[in-house]
Amino acid sequence: MARRYDVEAILEQVDLRALAEEAGAVFGHDHSSVCPLHLGADNPAAFHIYQGRDGRWRWHCFTRCPEGHNGGDAIAFFMRWRDVDSKTAVRELAHRMGIEPESFDMHRQGRAGGPAPAPKAVAPAIDPPGDRWQARAWAFVAYAEEQLRSPTGRPAMEYLLSERGLDEDTISLWRLGYNPRDVWQDPEAWGLAGKRVWCSRGIVVPGMRDGVIWYVKVRLQPLDLQEQQKVRIQVLPEEPDVSEEPGDNTDALIQRLVARGLMRPRPRGPIPPDPVSAEERLRLADLMGNAPGEPLSEIVIEERGER
């Protein structure tokens, strides 16, 4: 007989927020804090805990925690905090929760026809975006918050304060931010498939509930126009995505330039021959060289009149 701990029971009972606070996290009005897992933690939005679609609480660090060790469940947090392996983390968390290891028969457990665990009932619910999307969205929100309070975001901050009548406490409470430029990102980075994700320039408004981002809106900042000032609006077709097409992308690039009005479409069919032969061009150049005192326009007119 072997003994093991019920990991699911541990994760259901452990309080990740309390564990993070024990490690040094200081949460404000939401589930964000400075990161307690590394030195130099001064960004109050660098560390965030959130509830995944499976109901399990997780954490993510957006700053100095190394890639691959910057997020996970309570066990992953305990491993990073105490610098222990997963087995030790499970054992110590179980001891904290008062959970004893269970006995089981390894041989009987692996045989066909053995008792199978009963499936857990899952209440039907509308799920928020997945964990990968959550991590990317929180990173974008944290970036936008920093930009809003930078010199680049000063006009957007003045708009929120003076035009919209918000105060800084409200702006911080709702995690409003500013994205200074259009950004197209790989959909796989967001856990999505298909076209690139467009993070447009404007004021960033995340839709949050219980520490989970359900959506992110970007509102364009109104233009500062004078009375009766005329503007030109050009509606462009959707930009073709040629970033991942192998081989020669000439046709796609030409299509993009034509769509932006920077180039005329190429004529269909064979290209017509040059109407002026090489001999005629040489004769015209020689004529220009022999008449330096005459304007070029008159030389061209005389040349046309000889035909």
* Chain segment 169-222, per-residue pLDDT in tens: 888 888 899 999 888 888 888 888 888 888 888 999 998 877 788 889 898 766
Q: Which amino acid is at 109?
A: Q
What does pLDDT average to over the chain?
Answer: 76
Options 3.40.640.10, 3.90.580.10, 3.40.50.410, 3.90.76.10; CATH of 2-110: 3.90.580.10
pLDDT-derived band at 256 (thresholds 50, 70, 90) equals low
Q: Which amino acid is at 42?
A: D
Domain coordinates in residue numbering, the chain: 2-110, 131-219
Which of 123-127, 156-160, 182-186 bottoms out in mean pLDDT, i.e. has the lowest? 123-127
Confidence (pLDDT) at 165: 82
- Domain 131-219 is found in CATH 3.90.980.10: yes
For residue range 33-51, what is the model confidence (pLDDT) as tens digits?
888 998 766 778 888 888 8
For residue range 61-117, what is the model confidence (pLDDT) as tens digits?
888 888 778 888 899 899 999 998 888 899 899 999 898 887 655 455 444 445 555
For 163, the token pair is: 């035009």
Confidence (pLDDT) at 68: 75
Whether residue 303 has pLDDT greater than 80:
no
2-110 and 131-219 in the same fold? no
User: pLDDT above 70 covers what percent of the chain?
Assistant: 65
- Mean pLDDT in residue range 284-307: 55
